[in-house]
Amino acid sequence: MALPRYRDIAEQLLAAIARGDYPPGGRLPSVRQLAAAFAVNNLTALQAYRWLEQQQRVEARERSGFYAVQPEERPRAAEPPAPPPGTWVHVDDHVANLLSLSGSNIATQLHMAECDDSLYPSEELARRLRQKLLRQPALVGAHLPNLERHALFRGLRQLADGCQMSLAADELTVTNGCTEAIQLALRSLTRPGDVVAVETPVYFGLLQTIESLGLRVLEIPCTPNEGLSLEALAFALRQGPPVRCLVVVANFQNPTGALMPDDNKRRLVEMMRRHAIPIIEDDVFGDLYFGAERPKPLKAWDRDGNVIYCASFTKSFAPALRLGWFSGGSHHRRMERLKISNSYVTSSLLQATMAECLNDGMYARQVVQLRKALKTQAHRLQAAVLAAFPLGTRVIAPQGGMLLWVECPEPVDTLQLLQQALAASISFAPGLVFSAEPRFSQHLRLSAGMPWTPQLETAIDRLGHMAKDLQRR
């Protein structure tokens, strides 16, 4: 059987080291140079280095690169390589700094996965909330009445049917955002110190949640084209530390925007079932597709309750309502009990109003408009970035969601770029916050949630010029 591409690259590097092309202690090509030499993306090149690291044939030196290791430092053949431990997460400070930009007076804010207010039906929602409260004032003082609960669950199950996912009515729980659903799933599956497999790059909010629960991560490469690498995951499950669960965004991943192909989704669900490792699926962007059809969630292939499905209306309908939900499969009951200790209940007024919006078609209408706006905005933003940024900048056209993942050519450092951008009143999320390890220093994530304006066009142009200046230095 042919070797996976990263192994093939690793074997060729080993041969080059053996030939003496790189003496012991000698510096190896950078990840970017290796990727260019083999015409692969950086993550595949990084995967090759990670594998060689595990074999103790190369050594990573912080901020310096990879170096060939002295042959005598290699373990004896009989000794199996030690499984790489998971990584403790320390992103809280970086993320807090980034979040603090939201309350600032930065003129062009592109650092969050958010849309402009004008794209949400805030006035119509305010009117409905007012009416609901006037008609049913008891909603502020009581639990959600059964009539409304059934209406809400009917609406949620219709959404699920629309993406070929059939959910049992007694396996639905409403939460305060998708964040609470994911937190409950992690709390129900793990103990402090456990290792959770995540994508890399990964949504920094998930890293924060993982950090707060005292968990470690095992980062599995995720590419803008296909999402999570199943090959890398299979390898990590064979060679790595025991993994308690996997958290994955198969539809329009944050930050890469990747949409996992259906066949990979099916294979992923099957692989994790075989390993008896639960999947926590985050489908918060699933309704924001640009194509003809709503992509299926992993849960659509789940036959034995191994997938915990988590979603919310934060991105697609009303960010500040903080309404999310989960269907936890065989883990549902435990998660439901944990919800009580976490936040007890979710606002009855908001749930009852959401039920109405789902059942009378308002949600569906709003999402059609939002999808149209996001598709146009994302394409304009991508074109503007490619026109303004240095030659060699890479951006994959997103197929949904509201994010653009930009890879700048060497030696652009996006933390440096951010400092300059902030001085020009422009913000974005630097690549560094999307990993627990020092990675993605040449990447940045831009929000495509802002309507296209001359001010935005000028901001992207300025950002591109700053990146060009950094590249020339």
Nearer to ligand PLP, 203 or 290 (CB): 203
**Which residues, 6+ apart, have CB-to-CB distance to 213 below 8 Å?**
183, 186, 187, 190, 192
- Work out which of 286, 297, 324, 398 binds ligand PLP, going by CB under 6 A: 324
Minimal distance, residue 205 CB to ligand PLP, in Å = 5
CA 352 to each of CA 1, 130, 273, 321, 346: distance values in angstroms, whole numbers, following the listed order: 56, 12, 36, 12, 11
Nearer to ligand PLP, 203 or 326 (CB): 203
- Work out which of 29, 86, 121, 205 binds ligand PLP, going by CB under 6 A: 205
DSSP strand pairing (307-312 vs 323-327): antiparallel
CA 346 to each of CA 175, 181, 244, 280: distance values in angstroms, whole numbers, following the listed order: 6, 12, 28, 21
179 contributes a contact to ligand PLP by CB under 6 A? yes
Stretch of 154-162, 177-185, 390-398, 418-426 lying at the interface with ligand PLP (CB under 6 A): 177-185
- Work out which of 156, 237, 247, 249 binds ligand PLP, going by CB under 6 A: 249
- Work out which of 177, 297, 400, 430 binds ligand PLP, going by CB under 6 A: 177
Stretch of 176-184, 347-355, 359-367, 415-423 lying at the interface with ligand PLP (CB under 6 A): 176-184
Minimal distance, residue 180 CB to ligand PLP, in Å = 7
109 contributes a contact to ligand PLP by CB under 6 A? no
- Work out which of 47, 254, 306, 377 binds ligand PLP, going by CB under 6 A: 254
201 contributes a contact to ligand PLP by CB under 6 A? no
- Work out which of 178, 222, 269, 318 binds ligand PLP, going by CB under 6 A: 178
**Count of residues near ligand PLP by CB under 6 A:** 13
328 contributes a contact to ligand PLP by CB under 6 A? no
314 contributes a contact to ligand PLP by CB under 6 A? yes
288 contributes a contact to ligand PLP by CB under 6 A? no
Write 365-373 long-range contacts (CB < 8 A, 24+): 366/120, 366/121, 366/316, 366/317, 367/287, 367/288, 367/316, 367/317, 369/119, 370/115, 370/119, 370/120, 370/288, 370/316, 371/287, 371/288, 371/289, 371/290, 371/400, 373/119, 373/451
Minimal distance, residue 387 CB to ligand PLP, in Å = 27
Instruction: Give the three-class secondary structure for 88.
Output: strand
- Work out which of 203, 289, 301, 325 binds ligand PLP, going by CB under 6 A: 203
Instruction: Give the three-class secondary structure for 400.
Output: strand
Nearer to ligand PLP, 248 or 426 (CB): 248
> How far apart are alpha carbons 94 and 154 in whole angstroms?
41
> How far apart are alpha carbons 43 and 201 in whole angstroms?
10
The CA-based diameter of the chain, rounded to the nearest angstrom, is 81
Nearer to ligand PLP, 16 or 396 (CB): 396
Minimal distance, residue 413 CB to ligand PLP, in Å = 24
**Which residues, 6+ apart, have CB-to-CB distance to 433 below 8 Å?**
91, 94, 95, 98, 204, 207
From the CB of residue 102, how many other CB atoms can be counted at a distance below 10 Å? 12
Minimal distance, residue 71 CB to ligand PLP, in Å = 44
Q: Are 40 and 5 in contact (CB under 8 A)?
A: yes
Q: Which two three-digit tokens encode residue 34?
A: 């290796």
**Which spans of this chain sit near ligand PLP (rule: CB under 6 A)?**
113, 177-179, 203, 205, 249, 254, 282, 284, 312, 314, 324
